[in-house]
Structures are given as C-alpha cells and as structure tokens.
Structure 1
C-alpha cells in the first residue's frame, strides 16, 4: 500500500491531429484552467480505496460500523459514532456506537447544546462527555463499561455534502470521536478525507432505506384499509380493529378511542386498551376541551408528549388508580370530510418515544379511520332504516286499518259507562269490556279537562286510541287490557293524589302520562328483552345498541301511529309544547323498563330525604319514572280474585317463552320453566322485592297512598296461604301449575283463612268496607235510573221489572261473570242464558254469583223476583254493580273480548 504514493507519472499532452467538430469550436481557445483537485493530506489512499470497496451493504448500520472502525483505527480513539441530522423532523439520531448497533436508536432534538454549537459554527468542537445529553451519556457508559469514561473528551466534526441548500453546503451528519490520542486538527482532516469519498454511499443507502420504509408504510396502510372496510357492519368491531392496527403500526402498549357526540359537546370513549365493552353503560364521556384528548379535539392538532407526567394536561389519577405508568403519549385527531369525528390516544411506545415517523403514519392512518367510521355510521343507519321498514311492514300486515265506521261508533255512543268508584285505586278496570275501553279513554280525557285545555279533536283522539288498541297483540298478559289497566291507574293517581291541584304535575305532563300508559307496551311480543337479544331478532338488531329493546320498540311504534294520517291528536299543541310532550312520552315509556327503575332507586331515596321539589328537573324526572313503574305494576294492588287471574296470564306468557327457549336448545329461567316454577314463591318474591319497595316509596311521597302498600302486604299473605295447597297439589302430578292456580280449592282456602284472620284480629280494610257499603246504599238510585232508560226502550215491558240483568254462561273454570244491564231501546229487553237453564222469568236478576259448580245450575244465586223492584246486590261482589251491565268478571283471561259493535 505504501508504494501507491509514488504511482503518479507526468505525461506530456499530445496535440489532437483531427480537426475539432463544429460544436466544440467555441471551446477550442478556452484557456480556463481546470479546477485543482485537492490531494490527501493525512489519509492513505490505498486504505481509502479498500474502505470504499468494502462499502457494499444496503443498510446504514453496517456502513457506519465499517466507517467507525476505520476512524477508530486511524485516530486511536476509544470509540466513534455518527450523529445523523434529520432535517424534516429536526432531530439528531444515533444508531450505531463503535461496532454496537443500539437496540433503540437514540433521538434528541437538534437544539441540544453540543450538536447545535457544531451546526451553527460549522467547525470542529471538543467537549467533555459530561456536556452531552444525559441519555446519550448513559448509552455510552453501557458501551464503554468504564468508570472514567465521563471524563473523556469528545471531538465533534461536522461533515458537509457537496449538495447545497442555497449558497450553503448541506450538513447531513456529525462524527464524534471519543477519547482519541490524536490532535483535533488531525481528527478533522481524517474524517473529512474519509467522508469525502464515502458520504455519497451513506446518503444513497439512507435514501434507499427511507424509500423502503415508505413502501412498508404504504403497504401497512393498504392492509389497514382492507381490514377496516371489512368491519363496516359493526361499529364496535371497527373501533376495536382501528385500535389494534394503531397499536401495531406505532408499537404502542395501550390505546383509547374517543368519538365526538352529535352535538360536538362531549368525547365518548367505548374502547379502552383495545377492548370494546359489551355493556353500553361502560362508555365514558369527557368534555370536548378537557384533558389531552379534549385539547386535540378542540385544536385539531396532533400532540406528541415525550414525558406524560410533566405535561400540564395529563391527569395522573388514572395511573394511580390502575397502577399503570404512562411514559409517553401520541394523541391525534380522526377526521372525515366534514371535520373531526374523534380522537385516538396511544400510550407508551414499546421502545423509546414516539418519533416523527410515528406521527406521520398516525396522521395518514387517521384519514382511513375517519372514512371507515363515517361509512360504518352511514351503513348502520341504512340497516336501521331497513329493519324499521321490515318492522313497519310486519306491523301493517298484522293489523288492519281503522275504519271511519269504528270511529263513529265510539263518537256516537250514548252509553254513560258509569261505574262506582271509577276514579279510585281499588277499582278493577278488568271488569270493563274491551269494546267499551275507547269510550272510557275519552271519559278520562273529559274528566281531566284535556279537551278543554288543549282543544284536542275528539275524532282524531278516537282514531289514535283505536289504532293503539289494534297495535297490541293478542298475548296472554301484555295486551290492550293491560295497557288500559295501567292507564286507569294513572288516571286514579292524578285524581286521588291530587297531582294537578297540588302542582306536582302540569296538565301537559298529565297528558303525556296518560298517553304513555296507553302506548307503553304496544306491539309487545310476549317475550322479554333478554330473549330478543338471545334470539337475534329484528328488534334486537335495531335497538340493542340503545338498551331496553322492547321499550324502544314501543316508543317507536307509538310515534309511528302518532304520525299516521288523522291520528296526531297532539297537533293542537304549540311547537314548544309538542316537543316537550314527545320528550316526556319518551322518558315515560322507557321508564317502564325495570332495569331503569333499579338505577333510579338511590335517587328516589335522596329525594325522600331532602323533600320532593317539582321545580327541580332531576326530581321531576325521577318522580314521573316512579309513577310509570307503579302504574305498570298496578295489577298487584287489586283484590285477590284479580291478581290471581293476572298471575295466570303472566305465567302463561312466561311459560310460552320458556318453551321457545327450550326449542332453541337453551335452558330457561326457573320462572319461565313450566316444569320448575313455583308460582306462589315467585309471586311472593316479586311482590316483596319489586312491588312493595316501589309503592312504599310512593307512600313516603304521598301518605294517602299507604293503603296501596297495605293491599300488597295483604296479597303477599294470600300467596303465603296458597303456597301449602299449591305444593300439595303439585305433588299429586295430575295438574299443571297453571291448572292448579286456576282451581277453586285455592280460592276457598284463601278466603276461609282471610275471614278467620279478620275475625280474630278485627282488622278490616276501611276502604273496602266503605266501598261495599256505598254499593248497597247507591243501588236503589241506580236502579231508578236504569228503569227510566228501560221504559224508553220498550213499552211492552211496562208491567215487567224495571230492568233485566244479563247473566253470562257459567264457564268450565267454575266462575259466573257479572250480570250486565240492558240499556238500548232498539230491542225488547234481553235475558241472558244461564247454562242449562231453559227460561228466565220476567225481571229475573241473578245476584251474588260467586262461584259456580261444574253442574248446570248456579249455586249461591239470590231469589228471582217477578216484582217490579230489583233486589240489592250482595256485598260479597261489588263488581256486579254497573248501570249498563258494563264489565265481565275478571276471572277469565278472555272473557272481556267483545264484538266491536257492542259499545254503540
């Protein structure tokens, strides 16, 4: 190699014998001297050639190792490392120290003292190692493994490129020589001469790596786009996939996703650490301008935090609660074509801090996120519209359209529909015929002065009521008669608790209360919310994300009917009143979900402590939800005869669902399983755990409703009495649980023990006693009224009794329905048939028809009088008192199904 220094030989320039071509003639007499080539001062050209020959690797790590070794050898240094200056991110990067490739490359802002001085002066500087960044010192300590290394001197030499930025040569890197025995001048010359020939190789290899990185990034983003757009059908799956890909692209440990709500007020987080929670209630809301995520959402700018604990927007409480320590955070906005739709937050890069390239890929990734989220939401709305369309078609096919004749029959009805104590809690609305219920709804609206105050059109309200009645399916329990019973309780509550008079409720709220009770179970399928979710029904697909599947469906169908032509009886309201009324109807119908009631129990207790204030919106909301819950459970405050029939209907519906679950291969709950259910035990638990607390809360707000609590306690006692009989009959195995529940033995035993307990304790329900005595005292007056109407009906019957009561057929369930009075004048007075009785004498009146045996005659019937007077009704059955022969007895689940024409 040493002989190479004498290789140069001087040659005499020979003249060109050929003439110069025309395009070269202008240079023929150019006497400008060629630029002088700067020779080598300290480097061995042979060694440089061998070094240049060895630089064939396609990655900068290997090239730097070879260059470092050469400079270490020539300068007799402890180690050498190259600092690459990345102009686009304004960072100084160290990848290799000596022959060691760092596991995590060292990155620091160029604004560091040593590096900035070398760059600004563009001259070689010598500094002590202690002057360098502390993190770099720690890395050097690990590489050198010597205690005295911190006292070493480091010579930093800037390396210039022949490429220029303006008039200044580019400065792509710095070379640092640690603890060299050579002088600073020698070190500068050796590095300058080495990189004079090797820098282009380094620069081109770096460009190659950059292009390869961009290619990998593009491929990753295309992969991400493919995966994201394959999850558009489910937003939760899409969010989980977004977070998974974000963590993979940036090598982050944890991640969260916040979506901006439609009002652009809150950020809603459903995804934490890449996990989507199935329960909707686990979502977290934060203000748009709160914390790091809120700051990014408000400014729309990416935020890369190297040290989370030193940042003023970082909240340390979450780390303290979870035990997780957040080192660094990369938070970036997610946009669509309309603006920001959310914020993604990544925590703790696996190695080092989030760098410029992480920021770059995060911003590119956010575009795909925004587009996919937007398309997912649009796709979800399309599916919802499709499901709504299917449900609407199903509803329209199932129900018939209400005709004008049906509306006119209700409007032209001349029947008074007067019942004793109709506005009292103890009245059983199941006495009323289903065909009469639309007239009773109009009566309620009349009595509460809704027609007068809101100027509601009767024909429109009537059509709405008939549509709602048709909207209920013929299920054993959740049918129109249940809705009417709930509506009646609401009416009785308004009257007995004086909600309007005392200002506890406005007339608009009362209107919404009555309307919500009518519609609260419309189109009920006879199954629970959990069954809808498990079976994957259309309802579950449509409403599962909102919770309360059936309640949201009831609300939707109510609004659908309200928007039907000539059905919107609320159109008379002003705009603000209309919006408020719809909002109240929504809150009230959704409040019938018992899950919602349980979440409000603590707030109910708080209101009882501080006192109810109707001017406080929170108090009012909790109050109306309590009223709706009590109305929905109001069947349980009636007489034993009523609640036993209600229990029969409920468990008939439950057992039907249990049978469907068995056919699906699933095990139903005990109360849904006809083979396992113990009805008395289930009823006792239901009354104690749900009904009693709800009505106790109501009684604490309104002491006058304590009688409802006492009624529930009495019914609990009834079920306790029936339990031994039920158990005894179940052991025989010859009857089902529903057949046992409907047997007369249970009624006889319950009534016998109740009478005995009353006689021993001398405890009598004051309300029932007053009710029965009032029945006796008012019979004569009612008789006279009916007699007058009967005389107008037929002159032929002048010599006969004042009215003739209709007795319904004796059912196989051993019950006789109440006698109903004939009021119309179009026909001669009717006499209803008693099974196997051939004739009924004039003015026959069957009283005290309590329970019939399976024989053809009616036991316990009072005498049949031929005289013109009517015997008084027995106290044992006050429900038989109806001026028009109004209602069937509530002991049959289907006895109140009448012809639509009977109300006229």
Structure 2
C-alpha cells in the first residue's frame, strides 16, 4: 500500500486540529502534529496560554503537575525572540533538562532540541511554546511547523472563546466539568445539547465540503424541527452571489446560484441580521421557491459569520417549521450556537476545496496547453480545439473565435465546425462586442447581454437562440511589441514585412500601436451553463487561457508561413537545379567512359606542381575533373556510376557564379592541387581512402554559389544567408556546404549513393568539416594546434591529427595559386582585388565601414600581398613541409613570389607611383626578375642593381636621396620621360 503524500498528511493534521473542542484534545493533537511533522521525536512538552492568567502553562513532565514556562534557558530564549530555536544540546542548568529526559547535555550528533513558538493571529502575542527532542529540522519541516503553528493558534483562540462563552475549563485543567444551562441562555459542555454540538464537531472530519454541509444541515433540521435546511455559501470572489450545494438531505448535481443584491439574502449579508418569511417580498419568495423547487410556508435565514475575518461567509436557511407556523428566537439561537463552533472547520474545508480546484484547474490548463500545441500544423483544427477547451474551462454553452486580418475579424471556425474559405464570416474590427475587445484589448464580461448597448439581437432573432450573458476576451501576441511612433502598424512576429503591418491591431484604447502587445484574435463565450453569469474566476481562467491561445495561434501561423516558405524554397531549388543541369549537347559527349582521357592528355605537366590548370579551356574542365576522379581511383573504389558522376560534375560547374575570382576556375584549380598532392606526396597514405575522397569532393564544392563577398559583408548587410547561418559563424562556408548537399540530393547526382551507411555519414561529416576549414577565421583558430602537430610529429592512430591534416591540406589547396609561377600569381592577385574592390564599393554605397584591403582608394596591393604571404600563405606551407617533407618545394615557390612582390613594392615606391593602391597597378609595366622588359620598359640595369642592393640591405630604402638619384639617372637615360607624373 503506498504511503500518504506530504500534502495528505498535512491535510489530516489540519483537519484534526480543526475538530478540537477541549484542551486535552488540543494537547493530544499537537503531540501528533509535531510527531508527524518532525522525525524520531522522543520527549515533548506543550505550553499553552491560560485564559485566567495569560501565562504559558503545561501538564507535561513533573508527574503531570501544572507548571509555567521557565523564564530562563532555551524555552525562555524562545519566548523572548519568538522564533524557532534549535540547539545541539541543553545546558545542564536549563530547566528543560528535567522536563525532557532524553535532552542530555551530550546529545548524539544527529539529534537536536527544538523550541517552537506558537504566535497569535497578529503574530505578536505568544500563545504557546512546544519543546521537543528530535532529529535535525530541515527547511521544509520548518515551513510545515509554521503552518501547523498558525492552526494551533486558531484552536487556542477558539477554546478561549468557548471558555468565555460556555465556561469551558481553562488550559490548566484536564477535563471539562459538567454544568447546567439551556440553549437559549448559552449552554455549557455538560448539557445534552452541547453534547450534540461536540458530537457534530467530532463528525466534521471529511475533506468533502458537500458531506460536511450535509451533516450540518441534518443537525439543523433535527434541532430546529425544520422540513428542510440549506446552507448558502457566499462567493469568495466578489461576494455578489450565493450558491447552494446541499438542499436537505440531497447533494445537488448542479449548484443553485442566486445574485445577492436582487434576492432576499441581501439584508442578511450586508446588515448581518436574521430574517424570516415576513421580511421578504413576494417576488423574492417566488424566486426562492423556483430555485429550491419547493413551497415555502415559513423561513428563517441566519448569517454565518467568520469571527476571524468579521464577515458573512454563508447564510443558513431553515424552511417550513414542523409543528409551528413560524420559526422563533430559540431556533435562531440554535443556528447561531451551531455555527459558533463549526464555522472554522467549514471555512477551512471550503478553502481546501478552493485550493484543490485551483490545482485541478492548473493541471487542466497544462493539459489544455498540451492539446493546443499538438495541433500547430493546422490553424483551423487548432481554433476548433481552442473553442472546445474554452467552453469546457468556463462551462459555456457556445463559443465563437475570430482572428484579426486586414482590419477585419474573421471567423474560420464557428461552434466547433471548420468553415471553408468561402464560408468564412468577416466583420469590421470596430463592430460589436468582439470589435470593442479587439480595439481596446480588454476583457468584457456582460451579465445581461440584452441590456448592453453593443449587443446585436438580430442573430438571436434569426436563429432562435437566446444569449443571456457573454464573456469576451482578447488573444494577444505577447512576444511582439509595437514600433515607436505607432504608424502604420506593429511589427509583430506575424508581420515582419512592413507592408503587412496593417494586419495587426494593438491594445490601447482603440488606437493603433501604443506600446503594448498585439491582439491576434478574439474569443467570445456565451451563456454560463452552471451559473447566472460568468464570474470573476472565469475571467481569470480566460486571461490565463488566452496566453496559451496567443502562443499557439502565433506559432501555428508562423509554422504555416514556414511550411509555405519551405515549399517555395523547394520549388525554387527544383527550378534552380533544373536550369543548372547541363544540356543534352553538353552531357552526351561525356556519358561514354571512353571519352574520359588520361590526365596527361590535357598537358604533359598535368601532375606537376609547376603546372597551372587555368590554361585548360573552360569546355574541357569537366572532362579534366572526370579524368582526375578516375585517375585517383575513386570511381571504381566507391562504385560511382559514370552517368551520376557526369551529372554531379556538371551541376557543380553550373553551381558557381561568375565573380572575378571565386568562380568555377578557382574550384577547379583547388581540386587540381588536391590531385597534385595525391600524385606527388606519398605521405598521403597517412589518411584513409575515404578521407582523401572527401577532401577531393570538398575541394571542387568548397565555394559553391559564392557571391564575391565575404562573411563580414553578409552579416553587416543582414543578407538572407546571414539570417540562416550567422548564429553558427562561417556564413558563406555553411552555404557552400548546403549547396553541395542540394546537388547530392538531386536525382541522378549522388556520387555517394553506393557507400555503406557508416561511410555515407562519415564522408558527409568530413565534407562539412573540410569546407568549413576554408574560412580563414577557422584556420587562425587552429593554427597553434597545427604548429604543435608539426613539432610533435603526425600520429596516424590519432583521429584529431587526421582532422587537423585534412584542414591543413584544404587550406593549402585553397591558397595553391600562390605556389604557381609569377605570371599566374600576379594574374590571380588582379582577380582577387577586382573582387575585393567591388565589395568595397558596395559597402561604401550602403554606408558601411570599408576595410583598407577592400578600399580601392587606400589599399596598397604589393604591401597587402606581402602581408598575406607572410602571415597566412607561408606559414601554411611551412607547416605542411614539416608534416610532409616532400612538399618543401611549395615553400620555395611562395617565397619566390613574395620576393617579386617586394621588388614591385620597392620599385613603385621609387617611381612614386600613386596607382599602387588601385586595380590599375597591374597594368603598369615593370621589369621581371630576369631583367627583361616583360611587364614593360623604362627601368635601367643600374636601377635593377640598385633595387637588388636595396633588397639585400633593408636599412637602405627608397626614400630621400636614393630615390632622387635613381630617378635622375633614369631621366638622363630616357630623355622626355616624366617619371613624376606617370601613373599607369
């Protein structure tokens, strides 16, 4: 059998305290309450306030002799400070040592002595102290002790009142003594009448208010000789109505509710006095007879007052006196005497019922939220669920739901039925009750619909339905705030597009866009089923319910927009892929395997590091790519169908745009360099075959759909790509990988289709990591790890080394143009800066800050290239040469190009060329490394020697006299040439 929960135990304790009618019962109840709340209690002493002297007295310990609370020791300190005190041990002089035998000065480590104060309702007067030996007191136990203490204080106060009114023995005596008296004059505990009260109080231990009311009603019927009695409970929400749950011996299936101001109960509640049938009007009598379904011959209504709160909490009604024409004063005294002792228990149980109701409503609300959030995929079904849940929560007969669209209220669902678009009901947003709530954003509770000026009776007249009362509440998008200035609408979650801002109305006295939440819908409930009208509690439930409605509706509409966007994206992607596919004339010549030649057929030096693949004509690049796939063994090793490979390569080729540098030729060159690494460096067996395969595919896909702008531009310009990927970083690189996945997912293009599930996942993960590694920001983050790997040596068995090597190889492929001959390197630099300066122009036009290297008016190309080679390119190839020694020639090639940039920088400085910061710089003739006028003419041999000496002696620059001497010699050798003005 499961143990009772903490809440159940607490309820039992409080109910037992509520039924206490004597000091002995109270002491026993206190012992049980403390024993249940704390753990392993041994000795316990209870001090309670004595009515005669006001001192705290106890009969515990000292052989049952009554004694007062000691003024010294732990108990005295507790009385002085009036808060819980817990001690690890008692001083040997402490008076409690004699009262608590187990509280020795040396208690076990886990044992304590606790002194618990019991304060009166004003939290200032001490009415009791409990001393107990127990285990250590936890914070939760301390909270429960505080709750128990408050109820003990109520019991002490009640017993004091009973002792005053009924001469109940004081706290210092053990049992009540009998005395004589009559019900009329106030009886004491010894009479048979008071014994009946005691018996009733002892029976009021139920947790069910209806059961307790039944027992009280039966008691009243028996002692007042009534045909029927009823207890009308005053609503705790606004005290404007009373309701009855028990009528005679019947528990009503549906509560009877009566408005206080319009009924016979108004005098009883407001003036706190009893009335009889003679005091009410004939209309009130007729209404009461109809409500109670019985003929009333005589009536007695007595107010039930809660003394603690000094307010009427119920009205006790006795109907039809048996054996007499009317009720008398004695009957009224019986009723008052009954509730003098039972009202604390009744109010406690009613409060408990309310707490249970709140708990149940909370659980119901969570279930409602679950139901709503499982229907986000279809807004119409969601609206139907909202209507059904709204009816159930508020016990309404009907519900209508409107959404706000284009300054109209649109009903897509009515009375639980989904309407098609042709059957939608549309009304202006300013019309009627729903329009008033939509424009003000305030809940409207109408108790009498026909008397309200905004109510339109035409619908009732045409349908035959009678609307009695209405509860109309707004559904708001609480995630959106209105724009400053307020016109023309509010940028809610639903309406990011300014052109759609007119679709939202905002809360603020009917005006658009005050700084509040947007109203997205209106719910209108009609006719309270089990009441006269919708209560304040129904308004609170509706307000909480509307929060979940708002969240679910907003997210459902967002979900629909997202699905529509996905469909449009899918359609656009299909259209893009269709147009990216090569024509039959382009593909047909490639479909034969025999049409794929050996790599050497394109150039004898095809597999040499000195060869630049940019010399291959564009129409032959796809065939060359196929040739590399075959030569590296990927086709046979991974069972790639030739037609699939052709489709894949064609789609990749067409997936590149045509910016100056980041185009298909760049991807082809990067892929070719990967081919060179495979062919020339035997140490590539340091990688697995699947890793080399992923590296090559990533190389040709790594810049798919590049727009000629970098990540920073995408973020600062708030582009669509930035919205998709900026939270993760590496915006363009993630887009490149996404485009590669689109191509692989296109029918007939998946070159990985025959891989095992494990290899398939592996190659995709590798491709993603490798493509992301092309972001130089990523490279700079791992540069220390790369250097450390080069120093420590490559470990084949370490997966992290594999990952670092793949990133290093990808970066070396990406920068491979810097390893080619000077002509190629210079041409590539021209393309790069053409692309950079185009981005810079865009940034200037958009008012963005332009970095120097993207600004055609500030960038010094030779200096930028030298910095790039020093800080990026050379370290990459130096690390690679340490890991793979055969790649050392690449370092020499980069270094040779660096030397040429140094020469150009120095010469442009000597010649005072202002165009070194312009793309026109590449059109200026310079002398090549071998002294021939390869780039132009006009530079003498003496100048060449001077430049060489300047390079050999860094301290010797191109400034001051050196520049003037060289310029003068050049002028003498070339009469008529103006070196000071020539810039291109």
For the superposition of Structure 1 and Structure 2, which TM-score range results when normalised by the shorter chain? 0.3 to 0.5
TM-score by length of 2: 0.43
Q: RCO higher in 1 or 2 (8 Å CA, sep ≥ 6)?
A: 1
What TM-score do you get using the length of structure 1 for normalisation?
0.46
